[in-house]
Amino acid sequence: MPGSDNSKAPIPTALVGFDWQADLELITTAAREAGRVALSFFGQSPEVWWKNEGQSPVSAADYAANLSLETVLRRARPSYGWLSEETDDDPSRLDCDTLFVIDPIDGTRAFIAGKNTWCVSVAVVHKGRPVAGVLVAPALDEEFAAVLDGQASRNGAAIRVSLAPSDGPLKIACAQDMIAGFQPAIRSRIERVEHVPSLAYRLALVADGRIDATLVKRNSHDWDLAAADLILSCAGGSLTDLAGEPLVYNRPDVTHSVLLAATNQVLPALLQSLTPIARS
pLDDT tens for 221-254 read: 999 999 999 999 999 999 999 999 999 999 999 9
In a domain, 43, yes or no: yes
- Residue 10's pLDDT is 43
What is the CATH classification number for the domain harbouring 133?
A: 3.30.540.10
Q: pLDDT tens-digit profile of 18-39?
A: 899 999 999 999 999 999 999 9
Residues 80 and 208 in one domain: no
In a domain, 10, yes or no: no
Beta bridge partners of residue 145, listed in sequence order = 134, 153
User: Are 35 and 134 within 8 A, CB to CB?
Assistant: no
Q: With 0-12 CB in 10 A as exposed, 13-18 as middle and 19+ as buried, what is 257?
A: middle
Residues 22 and 140 in one domain: yes
Query: How many angstroms separate the Cα of 43 from the Cα of each of 36, 84, 126, 163, 187?
Result: 13, 24, 36, 37, 38
Residues 107 and 192 in one domain: no
Q: What percent of the chain has pLDDT over 90?
A: 84
In a domain, 230, yes or no: yes
Residues 138 and 203 in one domain: no
Looking at 88, 123, 158, the residue that finishes a domain is: 158
In the predicted structure, residue 49 carries a pLDDT above the cut 70? yes
Residues 134 and 107 in one domain: yes
In the predicted structure, residue 106 carries a pLDDT above the cut 70? yes
Looking at 158, 188, 205, the residue that finishes a domain is: 158
User: Are 236 and 145 within 8 A, CB to CB?
Assistant: no
- Mean pLDDT check: name the lowest of 37-41, 145-149, 272-276: 272-276
Looking at 136, 158, 180, the residue that finishes a domain is: 158
- Residue 90's pLDDT is 96
Q: For residue 53, name the pLDDT band (cuts at 50, 70, 90).
A: low
- Residue 47's pLDDT is 95
> CA 237 to CA 266: how far, in whole Å?
9
> CA 260 to CA 272: how far, in whole Å?
11
User: Are 94 and 250 within 8 A, CB to CB?
Assistant: yes
Residues 111 and 227 in one domain: no
- Residue 221's pLDDT is 98
> CA 80 to CA 142: how far, in whole Å?
27
Radius of gyration of the chain (CA): 18
Q: pLDDT tens-digit profile of 152-193?
A: 999 999 999 999 776 889 999 998 888 989 999 999 999 999
> CA 25 to CA 47: how far, in whole Å?
32
In a domain, 42, yes or no: yes
Residues 179 and 154 in one domain: no
What is the CATH classification number for the domain harbouring 213?
A: 3.40.190.80
Domain, as residue range, for 204 = 170-279
Number of domains present in the structure of the chain: 2
Among 66, 69, 62, 65, CA closest to 112 = 62
- Residue 52's pLDDT is 75
Q: What percent of the chain has pLDDT over 70?
A: 92
